Amino acid sequence: MKRLSVWAVLLAVLAALPAGAQQPYYAGKTIEILVPFAAGGGSDIDARFFAQFFEKHVPGNPRVLVRNMPGGGSVLGANFFAENARADGTQLLATSASTIIPYILGLPQVRYDPAKWELIKVNGVGGIVYVSPRTGVRKPEDLARPAERLVYGGISATGLDLVTLLLFEVLGLDVRVVMGFEGRGPARLAFERGETNIDYQTTPAYLSQVVPLVREGKAVPILSMGFVNEKGVMVRDPSAPDLPSAYEAYQALFKRKPDGLLRWKAYQSMVAAAFTFQKALWAPAGTPPEALQALRTAVDRMRADPQFQQQAKQILEGYEVFRGDVAKPAVLRATRITLDVKKFITDLLRSKYQVRL
Amino acid sequence: MAEAVRAAVELFVNPTRLSMLVLGSAVGLLIGVLPGMGGIVAVAILLPFMIKLDPFSALAMATGALAVVHTSDTITSVLIGAPGSAAAVPTMMEGHPMARRGEAARALSAAYLSSLVGGILGAVGLTLSIPIARPLVLSFGSPELFLLTVLGVSFAGSLLGKEPLKGLAAGLLGLLLGTVGPAPAAAEVRFAFGQVYLTDGIDLGLVALGIFGVAEVVSLLARGGAVAQRLELGRGWWEGVLDVWRHRWLVLRGALIGMWAGVLPAIGATAGTLMAYGHAVATSRDRSRFGKGDVRGIIAPEAANNAVEAGDLVPTLLFGVPGSAPSAMILGALLAYGILPGPRIVTEHLDLIYTVVWSFALANVLGAGVMFAASPLLARLTHVPFPRIAPPIVLAMVLASFQKTQHFGDLVTLVVLGVVGYALKVTGWPRGPLLIGFVLSNPLERYYFLTVKLYPRPEEWLLRPGVVVIGLLVLAPFAWSAVRWLRTRGRAQAEVRGQRPGPGAVATAAVLGVFAYAWWQATGFLPDAALMPVSVAALGTVLSALQLVRELRGQASPLRDEDEGEAAEEAVGPRVLRAVGYLASLAVYVLATWFLGIRWASVLWSLWFLRGVARLSWPTAAVYAAVLVAALELVASVLGLYLPAGRLRL
């Protein structure tokens, strides 16, 4: 009898062991998300929002911290990550357009290559272009003959404004571009003051700040920058489904499709990289598959989590979050511009905007 | 009106909201004390907690922290001369000499009372301006904002000191330093010398910490002894209260300047505070004591820098354009709650706005009260031999400078700026104009280019009413000075006792060299990126060359340390040598950080200092050093900082 009970206990212990050995990869660990931007900015808010849901949904419930490391327009932090990050899944990098654009343009201070990293999640933001009623423009076709010269206020030709500049090229608009605003917020104020008459805002800012102006008749929305889907086709912005995309705007202006045009290729690439896939989270090369699996599982769970969906409506403006492995091909395609596109962009910046790259 | 009262009552009665407000204020006070750490650090610490609260409590907490940061940053500014933030520099420049004379309590109480009144006025202003804020802010176009930055820079004119050429050149040097980094109007990074670290420019906090903080600490150490050379005279704190009453209109004017600086873009907290300081100097008949401990130089800036935080909330809440880094974080928190800033916030979330206003006012009262109560105790620190309290201050400054980008360049910059700051101080170059120039350099340039590009024809903007009014404000002091000069020209000039050329001339020559080099470099920039640095550097070259000539001919005033009014107990030479020694030790410390990491470098430096300079016994020094580094770890972990282990990975 005694021997049987000993064996029973032994068997019970042996049965329990495998369950103990299958501890989730991240149990008891801490994940650090490096944000190469200052606290409080859009990328920081995005990272902190996801941090709490990663804590909730990554198997093993690791602690997830955000560490800010601004500097060099986010290049410093990205360089640091590329050179120092631990490849065990406990350090991730949050990037935004200002991290990716210098990489696309091949600027010398960039010492990172996202193609080598593992993409964990990506979500984007849209851009809405609107004009002052003084321009008399009500639909894209009118842009060809505005009642007064179009004046646009931007921040820097090598930042997100590059996309807007390419849009102006695509649509053949004659715009006086004034760079030097501190941010899109002050640029919008200039529009409200009547100092500029064409502007774009990212969708969250548009919906909260510009829509009241539209209702008061002080702003007229014309088109959206457009969203590039996983097939590489530009579709309407999901948050502004009533507005034509840049693709449709071109068609309205020139009565044909822009596919194949070099400047269209340039624009579409940049829109994808800078807007559609703006907020990306990466793990370094060599991260173990269990870690990647756990993180991607978390993204799936998040997408199905009603609390996430509810809050994402505010913070992400209802744009979808994509799992990194699913979206990576499209993202890399967007960031890998061909040599002719690169030359087009460099030439444009040099000839029209006095930018030496 | 009913809404306002209801919000106030809710705030006081609801235990969660009230306790979060108190907690936020406590954090704000503590962070404010540490030199170099400001509102953004406080809000960053609170953010994870805020997300878990309801919107009202979260805002009460964040507002509480923001409101009092500029109340407590007075402490290190006055007692030690290490500015708690860049906006505390004027308080430091006047309050610290007062502390050295034994009048610390007076300086502190004047500061706290002014902060309190400034904060309350700010809250009132915030309430009153909400209905009219939108059209008001929108009426300030790029030309008006440009003129405002010109006005700000012109305030440096009242701080020029005895050698106007030096003062002007110092201001130009500040403007030049501000051009390091990305040009506002052209895609060019200036004076970065190939360092990615410099591509964003030099951080304001580092400038304040290095040029003022490190320089003062080193100077104090070199002088030896305790901060206060004399015993506390009588009931200092009551004297401070009387001072504020005597200068009550100055408090009001300071608060107004601060509020406007916060509401309008282009001018931030630091510039607004400096403008209030310049205004206090400009409107005083007797300017002789400014820079040596004039309480008016504390009252106006302290009122301004509390009011400015209230003003900052106006563009944040009403336009969604954050007026400062901490309010950017608050904006982010609001968005997370689905509360959209903008015109609708006034109609849809009025109760929230009033919660913010009342939190602001209440936090100011609490903060001032706590600080008042703590003043007598804190003032006693000025009687402790300074070397004994220097290590925590130095380490706090190091941590504060490091927490910005967590890049080694932060530490190098701190020490370099410390050396520059000390050199300027000891050779009589006024640093006030330098700071004003630095802070306003970018906005000045930015708004200039925006003006001329958005309004290509000069008559489009030069004749705007706002431009004309502000332009007159700019010219008025100069016109007044010119009139006075014309009147007194007849009288015999006081004989200026000349000085043989010496170290002063070396400093002037160095400044001349900097300007000339910058001029040469800047001509290679793109046109729109070159205009500002070339103009500034060219003018600076001319002025510093003229000054050099004056000094070589022995026409310049005798060289004086910025801290005058002290009994010169010994010759200047040995003192400067000691200071250089301390600066060198800091350089070694930074080098050690590179190899050994911050922890070990701090341990070693603290031990050396406590044994060698403070002359503590081995056991005391060891314990003290250990406690210091433990505190460093604690603060770093609370702030979520990563203390690097150095190249040798110890």
Task: Spell out which residues of chain B touch residue A178, defining contact as CB-CB under 8 Å.
Answer: 450, 453-454
Task: Spell out which residues of chain A touch residue B642, defining contact as CB-CB under 8 Å.
Answer: 67
> Using an 8 Å Cβ cutoff, are B38 and B78 in contact?
no
The span from the CA of B184 to the CA of A157, in Å, is: 11
Lowest average pLDDT, out of A87-96, A293-302, B228-237, goes to: B228-237
Q: What is the pLDDT of residue A3?
A: 62
Q: What is the pLDDT of residue B565?
A: 40
Please compute Rg for chain B using Cα positions: 24
Q: What confidence tier does B71 reach under pLDDT thresholds 50, 70, 90?
A: confident
Sorted by where each begins, the domain ranges of chain B are 2-226+237-485+499-552, 572-638
Task: Spell out which residues of chain A touch residue B40, defining contact as CB-CB under 8 Å.
Answer: 39-40
Closest approach of A189 to chain B, Cα-based (Å)? 7
Q: What is the pLDDT of residue B560?
A: 59
The span from the CA of B327 to the CA of B63, in Å, is: 9
Report the alpha-carbon angle B259-B264-B269, nearest 5: 55
> Using an 8 Å Cβ cutoff, are B535 and B543 in contact?
no
At B587-601, the pLDDT tens digits run 999 999 888 888 888
* Mean local confidence (pLDDT), B243-250: 92
Percent of chain B with pLDDT over 90: 24
Place of tokens 């994808």: A272
In sequence order, what are the residues at sequence separation of 6 or more whose Cβ sits closer than 8 angstroms to the Cβ of residue B609?
B387, B390, B391, B394, B585
Query: Which one of A48, A109, A189 has the shortest CB-CB distance to B196?
Result: A109
Which chain B residue's Cα is nearest to A183? B321
Beta bridge partners of A128: A201, A224
> Using an 8 Å Cβ cutoff, are B270 and B86 in contact?
yes
Q: What is the pLDDT of residue B332?
A: 75
Q: What is the pLDDT of residue B649?
A: 58
Q: How many helices (H) and strands (E) does chain A have?
A: 14, 13
At A179, is the secondary structure helix, strand, or coil?
Answer: strand
Q: What is the pLDDT of residue B224?
A: 78
- Model confidence at B570: pLDDT above 60: no
Q: From residue B117, how far is each of A28, B241, B327, B371, B375 by CA, in Å?
A: 50, 12, 21, 14, 18
At A128-166, the pLDDT tens digits run 999 999 999 999 999 999 999 999 999 888 888 999 999
The distance from CA B261 to its chain's CA centroid, rounded to whole angstroms, is 14
* Mean local confidence (pLDDT), B310-314: 87
Q: What is the pLDDT of residue B257?
A: 92
Mean of all residue pLDDT scores within chain A: 88
Which chain A residue's Cα is nearest to B316? A185
Task: Spell out which residues of chain A touch residue B406, defining contact as CB-CB under 8 Å.
Answer: 69
Query: Which one of B187, B321, B446 has the shortest CB-CB distance to A157?
Result: B187
Chain A residues 14-43 within an 8 A CB cutoff of chain B: 38-41
- Model confidence at B287: pLDDT above 60: yes
Beta bridge partners of A323: A121
Q: What is the pLDDT of residue B492?
A: 47
Tokens at B646, concatenated? 């150095």
The widest CA-to-CA distance across chain A, in whole angstroms, is 101
Which chain B residue's Cα is nearest to A178? B453
The widest CA-to-CA distance across chain B, in whole angstroms, is 74
The span from the CA of B104 to the CA of B89, in Å, is: 16
Can you give the length of chain B in residues? 650
Task: Spell out which residues of chain B touch residue A354, defining contact as CB-CB under 8 Å.
Answer: 186-187, 526-528
Domains annotated for chain A, with CATH where assigned, are 30-124+277-337 (3.40.190.150), 127-274 (3.40.190.10)
Task: Spell out which residues of chain B touch residue A102, defining contact as CB-CB under 8 Å.
Answer: none
Which chain B residue's Cα is nearest to A70? B405
Q: From residue A9, how far is each of A5, A6, A21 by CA, in Å?
A: 6, 5, 19
Q: What confidence tier does A287 reach under pLDDT thresholds 50, 70, 90?
A: very high
Closest of A71, A62, A61, A63 to residue A35, by C-alpha: A71
Closest of B314, B318, B313, B357 to residue B340, by C-alpha: B318
* Mean local confidence (pLDDT), B266-291: 85
Q: What is the pLDDT of residue A232?
A: 80
Q: Do A212 and B137 touch (CB under 8 A)?
A: no
* Mean local confidence (pLDDT), B87-95: 90
Helix B104-138 / helix B248-263 crossing angle, nearest 10 deg: 40
Q: Do B336 and A66 touch (CB under 8 A)?
A: no
The span from the CA of A139 to the CA of B546, in Å, is: 62
| Torsions phi, psi for A63 (to 5 deg) | -80, 140
DSSP secondary structure letters along B259-291: HHHHHSTT--HHHHHHHHHHHHHHT-S--TTTT
Parallel, antiparallel or unpaired: strands A63-68 and A30-35: parallel
* Mean local confidence (pLDDT), A43-59: 89
Q: What is the pLDDT of residue B180?
A: 93
Percent of chain B with pLDDT over 70: 93
Closest of B94, B398, B394 to residue B221, by C-alpha: B394
At B571-583, the pLDDT tens digits run 677 888 888 999 9
Q: Do A193 and B340 touch (CB under 8 A)?
A: no
Q: From residue B381, how far is each of A94, A262, A282, B74, B376 by CA, in Å?
A: 45, 70, 49, 14, 9
Lowest average pLDDT, out of A260-269, B282-291, B342-351, B481-490, goes to: B481-490
* Mean local confidence (pLDDT), B195-208: 84
Q: Do B187 and A158 touch (CB under 8 A)?
A: yes
* Element containing residue B592 per DSSP (H, E): helix B572-612
- DSSP annotation of B582: H
> Using an 8 Å Cβ cutoff, are A185 and A205 in contact?
yes
Q: What is the pLDDT of residue A271?
A: 93
- Count residue pairs from A and B with Cβ separation < 8 A: 144
The span from the CA of B21 to the CA of B443, in Å, is: 34
Answer with the residue of higher pLDDT: A6 or B524: B524
Query: Which one of B44, B200, B320 has the shortest CB-CB distance to A39?
Result: B44
Task: Spell out which residues of chain B touch residue A179, defining contact as CB-CB under 8 Å.
Answer: 185-187
Closest of B129, B264, B135 to residue B272, by C-alpha: B264
- Model confidence at B114: pLDDT above 70: yes
Other CB atoms within 10 Å distance of the CB of residue A148: 11
Answer with the residue of higher pLDDT: B473 or B643: B473
Q: What is the pLDDT of residue B494?
A: 53
* Mean local confidence (pLDDT), A237-259: 93
Spell out the alpha helix ranges (H) of B455-571. Answer: 458-462, 465-488, 503-522, 527-552
Most confidently predicted of A224-228, B15-19, B161-165, B595-599: A224-228
ipTM value: 0.82
Question: Which own/partner contact pairs does B346-349 have at CB distance under 8 Å and 24+ positions apart?
Answer: B346/B130, B346/B131, B346/B318
Answer with the residue of higher pLDDT: A325 or B344: A325
Other CB atoms within 10 Å distance of the CB of residue B497: 8
Answer with the residue of higher pLDDT: A210 or B236: A210
Closest of A218, A276, A216 to residue A246, by C-alpha: A276
Which chain B residue's Cα is nearest to A187? B321
Closest of A280, A330, A301 to residue A125, by C-alpha: A280
At B12-59, the pLDDT tens digits run 778 888 889 999 999 898 888 888 777 778 887 787 778 778 888 888
Task: Spell out which residues of chain B touch residue A181, defining contact as CB-CB under 8 Å.
Answer: 446, 450
Asked if A69 has any chain B CB less than 8 Å from its own CB, the reply is yes
Task: Spell out which residues of chain A touch residue B321, defining contact as CB-CB under 8 Å.
Answer: 183, 185-186, 188-189
Task: Spell out which residues of chain B touch residue A185, defining contact as CB-CB under 8 Å.
Answer: 319-322
Q: What is the pLDDT of residue B564?
A: 44
The span from the CA of B37 to the CA of B398, in Å, is: 11
At A174, is the secondary structure helix, strand, or coil?
Answer: coil
- Model confidence at B613: pLDDT above 50: yes
Q: What is the pLDDT of residue B544?
A: 92
- Model confidence at B105: pLDDT above 90: no
Q: What confidence tier does B289 reach under pLDDT thresholds 50, 70, 90?
A: confident
Q: From residue A207, how far is each of A190, A213, A240, B433 by CA, in Å?
A: 18, 10, 9, 43
Answer with the residue of higher pLDDT: B567 or B584: B584
Q: What is the pLDDT of residue B1?
A: 63
Closest approach of A38 to chain B, Cα-based (Å)? 9
Using the Cα atoms of residue B588, residue B592, residue B593 and residue B599 in order, give the sign of their dihedral. negative
Q: What confidence tier does A21 reach under pLDDT thresholds 50, 70, 90?
A: low
What count of Cα atoms within 13 Å lies in the side-chain half-sphere of residue B635?
A: 23
Answer with the residue of higher pLDDT: A99 or B225: A99
Place of tokens 């904002």: B145
Most confidently predicted of A210-224, B67-81, B229-243: A210-224
Closest of A188, A203, A160 to residue A317, by C-alpha: A203
Mean of all residue pLDDT scores within chain B: 84
In sequence order, what are the residues at sequence separation of 6 or more whose Cβ sits closer than 8 angstroms to the Cβ of residue B296?
B94, B247, B250, B280, B284, B290
Which chain A residue's Cα is nearest to B201? A72
Residue type for position A270: M
DSSP secondary structure letters along B612-645: HTS---HHHHHHHHHHHHHHHHHHHHHTT-----
* Element containing residue B407 per DSSP (H, E): none
Closest approach of A320 to chain B, Cα-based (Å)? 17
Closest approach of B354 to chain A, Cα-based (Å)? 21
* Element containing residue A346 per DSSP (H, E): helix A339-353
Q: What is the pLDDT of residue B25?
A: 92
